[in-house]
Chains A and B, each alone.
Chain A
Amino acid sequence: MKLAFDILTVFAVSAGSIFFLAGTVGLIRFPDALTRLHALTKVDNLGLGLIVLGLLPQANGVFGALKLVSIWLLVQLSGAIVSQLIAGAVRQRGPQR
């Protein structure tokens, strides 16, 4: 059982890290602030979600697992809101800034 959990952890954390890599590449290479926002908030969030998923078996009891999930939900919420706010700021200034 522990071996199965460890394999899950390794896979999920690796997948999460790859998504972080993808998000950073998007941040670097995308042409526009709005597209970069997509890379930042969506892809990095998915990476964090996979990492949290992978760390759930290693967590400190049910309470620790709940804390991890609630952290991920909090980051989801903040990502959604912040992307809307920044997109609003981009629209206000026009495309060049």
Chain B
Amino acid sequence: MASFLFGAAGFVLTMVALGLIVILQRPAEVDHMMAAQLLGTGGVAVLVLLAAATETPAIVDVALLLALFAAFAAVAFVRSASGSKSESRERASGV
């Protein structure tokens, strides 16, 4: 069971690697923004499989944090891409 789960983790990692190579080679910024989401799904799968394979429940916590911060990073990417319609608040009266 452990070696099967390790093998599955390696397979998913290979899929993530292939996806990353393809995404990052494309010139468009929009494609690069997907990298965080890819890691958020694939990386979480790899970690969860590793947690079950090594029987270390703490790794599931790392997967939880990875999911949270991959979402956060993806939001930051979209917001900061050039040409995105984001602006500082220009309100005159502050609060």
Least CB distance from B26 to A in Å reads: 9
We find that the number of chain B residues with CB closer than 8 angstroms to chain A is 46
Given A20-B12, A47-B45, A71-B48, answer yes or no on A85-B1 (Cβ-Cβ < 8 Å).
no
Residues of B within 8 A of A (CB): 1, 4-5, 8, 11-12, 15-16, 18-19, 22-23, 28-31, 33-34, 36-38, 40-42, 44-45, 48-49, 51-52, 57, 60-61, 63-64, 67-68, 70-71, 74-75, 78, 81, 83-85
29 contacts between A and B (CB under 8 A): A9-B1, A10-B1, A13-B8, A16-B8, A20-B12, A20-B42, A23-B19, A27-B19, A27-B34, A28-B18, A28-B22, A40-B34, A40-B38, A44-B38, A51-B45, A52-B48, A64-B60, A70-B64, A71-B44, A71-B60, A71-B67, A78-B74, A81-B71, A81-B75, A83-B37, A86-B78, A92-B84, A92-B85, A97-B28
